[in-house]
């Protein structure tokens, strides 16, 4: 991996929803402070996979996982790993913007307050920092007390990114963050991801191949719950090794 | 050809459209007219006695003269006791049922029990309150007995409404909270409940509205004293029961209608409060 430390690694990861297997023997490494894109047609398990990383699948009943998912050298599914503390280090931005029905300020302060921060000045500082880092500060600095639900869809999604940054994670998972947004908002989010990768390890699930090509350093192609191919984004898009990768990328199915 | 198809061929779609709209309009009008008729009838017959000395005075000659202040205060005290006990228990049970209870036999039994409690006729709850609260626990005819019996009445209502409001909070909101490193309880208390508050508060306030008009439960438990209560263990006569006695014992029809007007006004105020609270707490729920 060209000198990059591995941040997240999955080894023979299998996942079942009840009797149906959704992930089959996924072995994949995601390097530190790079953007890894996961692409593939609907139902290929890409969202399921990314939700394994921060253990969001814990919320789903009848979900069974085998294999290992290593973060900071430790299997996140080991007994003794606390899912809440793990998620503090591995943030997530969802497909549909999901701001809380509170003020913009309280949305961003939500995470820090969970983790015990009470001082107003410190919270003020975090709110400002996070909004600046998510390129929202200029737009909404003077409406911090307004409801987050009054913002546009694109602003809501950047607010959700700011909210994630406020708890100072190491990794940010993006689960199709632009699928509900218009092209201009999408471009803003992509710019943001390009900036954020200097400080954070990023994993992004997308069904938009141009987006994967634009924002990612590495790309993994999933099909029917299996990892078909993984490599540098340039290589995956220009000379894929597998026929099915080429077919998907050139738009022959999906 | 059957009669129906015969009519169908005779009547054009445009005509049947008009007829259907007409019928629906008539139904809606009848519903509103009944309400207006009841309201108008009671207000016209009762409004003449409603004035400040009626609202703030004490009854004389069993209520044939004087005011109804003790009954208003009694109703208010019963409400407070019922709500102070029903709201925490009801919301707690709702949170458990909506967020924690495993979907299984036990949860099914609890939900079924809550529904059954909601279906128990109020006179039966009154009788139980008399046997259990008044006699067995020795609370006597009192605000405490009446308030707790009313709690039995409104509890299932509050549980159901709160449970529905909590379940209606989108899953994405819970996920957003968990993804920031929140525990289950943090998610429930800081993200889910605030989002469910408008629904819960509306449910609670409408529960008060239901309880305020309740007569059968309190005549067995709260007593019928026309004196001003000074402790939780004093008996009181609630407004609806006062009304019942005035009318059924032929004490004074006018005073009964006057009391009705006050009772209606109280229920109306409570409904207005529900709307106001919804607006107030709904301000972060986005502009519609």
DSSP secondary structure of A91-148: EEE-SS----SSBHHHHHHHHHHHTT---HHHHHHHHHHHHHHTT-HHHHGGGTTSBG
Q: Which of B180, B285, B286 sits opposite A111 (nearest CB)?
A: B180
Return the DSSP state at B229.
Answer: P
CA dist A1 → A31, A32, A34, A228 (Å): 7, 10, 11, 18
On whether the CB atoms of residues B232 and B142 are closer than 8 A, the answer is yes
Tokens coding B202:
């509306």
Instruction: Indicate the SS3 state at residue B147.
Output: helix
CA-to-CA distance for B239 and B267, rounded, in angstroms? 12
What is the least distance, in Å, from the CA of B193 to any CA of chain A?
11
Closest A-chain CA to B192? A100
- A33: CB partners within 8 A, 6+ apart: A4, A7, A197, A198, A199, A200, A201
Q: Strand pairing partners for B59?
A: B66
Closest A-chain CA to B286? A149
Domain ranges of chain A: 6-98+172-249
Is the CB of A101 less than 8 angstroms away from the CB of B286? yes
pLDDT tens for A112-164 read: 999 999 999 999 999 999 999 999 999 999 999 999 999 999 999 999 999 99
Report the pLDDT value the prediction gives residue B277, as an integer from 0 to 100: 80
What is the least distance, in Å, from the CA of A171 to any CA of chain B?
12
Is the CB of B181 less than 8 angstroms away from the CB of A85? yes
Is the CB of A160 less than 8 angstroms away from the CB of B186? no
pLDDT tens for A173-232 read: 999 999 989 999 999 999 999 999 999 999 999 988 899 999 999 999 999 999 999 999
CA-to-CA distance for B37 and B209, rounded, in angstroms? 21
For an interface test with B, the pick among A98, A108, A112, A126 (most B C-beta atoms closer than 10 Å) comes out as A98
Domains of chain B as residue ranges with CATH? 52-284 (1.10.3720.10)
Find chain A residues with C-beta within 8 A of B180's C-beta.
87-88, 91, 110-111, 114, 163-164, 167
Instruction: Indicate the SS3 state at residue B168.
Output: coil
Tokens coding A112:
């820090």
Arch. (CATH architecture) of A6-98+172-249: 3-Layer(aba) Sandwich (3.40)
**Per-residue tens of pLDDT for chain B, all 288 residues:** 577 777 777 788 888 899 999 999 999 999 999 999 999 999 999 999 888 888 988 888 888 888 899 999 999 999 999 999 999 999 999 999 999 988 888 888 888 888 888 889 999 999 999 999 999 999 999 999 999 999 999 999 999 999 999 999 999 999 999 999 999 999 999 999 988 988 898 889 888 888 888 889 999 999 888 888 989 999 999 999 999 999 998 888 889 999 999 999 998 898 898 888 877 776 666 443
State the virtual CA torsion across B47, B49, B51, B55 in degrees, nearest 10.
-100
For an interface test with B, the pick among A51, A54, A91, A101 (most B C-beta atoms closer than 10 Å) comes out as A101
Report the pLDDT value the prediction gives residue B284, as an integer from 0 to 100: 64
């Amino acid at each position: 991996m060209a000198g990059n430390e591995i941040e997240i690694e999955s080894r023979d990861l299998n996942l079942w929803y009840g009797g149906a297997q959704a992930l089959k023997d996924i072995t994949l490494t995601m390097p530190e402070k790079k953007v890894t894109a996961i692409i593939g047609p609907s139902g290929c398990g890409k969202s399921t996979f990314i939700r394994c990383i921060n253990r969001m699948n814990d919320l789903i009943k009848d979900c069974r996982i085998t294999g290992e998912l290593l973060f900071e050298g430790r299997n996140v599914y080991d007994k003794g790993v606390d899912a809440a503390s793990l998620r503090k280090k591995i943030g997530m931005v969802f497909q549909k913007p999901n701001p809380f029905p509170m003020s913009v300020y309280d949305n961003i302060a939500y995470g820090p307050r969970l983790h015990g921060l009470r001082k107003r000045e410190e919270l003020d500082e975090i709110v400002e920092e996070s909004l600046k880092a998510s390129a929202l500060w200029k737009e909404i600095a003077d409406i911090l007390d307004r409801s987050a639900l009054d913002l546009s869809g694109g602003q809501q999604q950047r607010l959700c990114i700011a909210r994630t940054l406020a708890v100072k994670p190491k990794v940010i998972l993006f689960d199709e963050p632009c699928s509900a947004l218009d092209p201009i908002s999408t471009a803003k989010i992509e710019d943001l991801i390009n900036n954020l990768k200097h400080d954070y390890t990023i994993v992004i699930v997308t069904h938009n191949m141009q987006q994967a090509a634009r924002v990612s350093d590495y790309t993994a192609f999933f099909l029917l719950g299996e990892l078909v191919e993984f490599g540098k984004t340039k290589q995956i898009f220009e000379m894929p090794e597998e026929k099915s990768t080429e077919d998907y990328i050139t738009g022959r199915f999906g | 050809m059957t009669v129906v198809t015969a009519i169908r061929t005779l009547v054009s779609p445009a005509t049947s459209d008009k007829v259907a709209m007409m019928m629906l309009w008539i139904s809606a009008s009848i519903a509103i007219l009944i309400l207006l008729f009841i309201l108008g009838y009671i207000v016209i017959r009762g409004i003449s006695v409603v004035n400040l000395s009626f609202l703030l005075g004490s009854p004389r000659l069993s209520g044939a003269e004087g005011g109804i202040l003790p009954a208003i205060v009694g109703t208010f005290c019963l409400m407070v006791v019922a709500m102070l006990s029903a709201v925490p228990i009801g919301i707690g049970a709702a949170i458990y049922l909506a967020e924690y209870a495993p979907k299984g036999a036990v949860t099914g039994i609890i939900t079924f029990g809550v529904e059954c409690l909601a279906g128990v006729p109020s006179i039966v709850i009154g009788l139980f309150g008399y046997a259990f609260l008044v006699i067995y626990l020795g609370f006597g005819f009192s605000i405490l007995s009446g308030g707790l019996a009313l709690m039995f009445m409104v509890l299932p209502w509050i549980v159901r409404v709160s449970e529905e409001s909590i379940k209606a909070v989108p899953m994405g909101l819970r996920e957003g909270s968990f993804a920031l490193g929140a525990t289950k309880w943090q998610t429930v208390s800081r993200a889910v409940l605030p989002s469910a508050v408008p629904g819960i508060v509306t449910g609670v306030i409408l529960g008060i509205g239901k309880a305020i008009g309740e007569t059968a439960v309190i005549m067995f438990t709260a007593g019928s004293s026309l004196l001003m209560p000074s402790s939780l263990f004093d008996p009181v006569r609630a407004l609806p029961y006062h009304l019942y006695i005035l009318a059924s014992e032929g004490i004074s029809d006018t005073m009964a209608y006057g009391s009705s007007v006050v009772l209606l006004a109280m229920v109306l105020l409570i409904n207005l409060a529900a709307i106001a609270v919804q607006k107030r707490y709904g301000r972060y729920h986005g502009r519609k």
